[in-house]
Amino acid sequence: MKKLRVALKLRDTEIVKILKLADFDMTESELGAIFRNEDHPKYKECGDQLLRNFLNGLIIHMRGPMPAEKPAAQPKPQTEKPKQPKPERKQLHFKRK
């Protein structure tokens, strides 16, 4: 998570907003505990749920929200072509030998 924060140049407030896009509430102080050194007494490990929601929120942040599904296109009514009369068939006569 720390490397993503640095690579994307994100501030704590931006990360909190990204998490809210994925319906995950977290305060800046809770987030600060994740970015502390491991030997700090208030250090908190980044769990799978937090990372999953951050990535989902990041997708929404970068691409925008998913568009609503469009209703299925109704097939256009077929317009019937005017029927043309069939050409008359001429009967062929063959001479027998």
**pLDDT per residue as tens digits for the range 60-96:** 988 877 777 766 666 666 666 677 777 777 777 777 7
Per-residue pLDDT, 69? 74
Of residues 47, 19, 15, the one with CA closest to residue 32: 15
Q: Decide if 72 contacts 33 (C-beta within 8 A).
A: no
What pLDDT, on a 0 to 100 scale, did the predictor assign at position 14? Answer: 92
Query: Is-contact 34 50, C-beta < 8 A?
Result: yes
Tell me the pTM.
0.61
Signed CA dihedral, 31, 9, 13, 57: sign only? negative
Residue 43 has pLDDT above 70, yes or no: yes
Q: Is the pLDDT of residue 4 over 70?
A: yes
Task: Give the pair of three-digit tokens for residue 64.
Answer: 């925008």
Mean local confidence (pLDDT), 23-47: 88
| pLDDT mean across residues, the chain | 82
DSSP E strand stretches across 1-93: none
Q: What confidence tens digit (pLDDT) does each residue in 17-33 have?
A: 999 998 889 888 888 88
Q: Note the pLDDT of residue 79.
A: 67
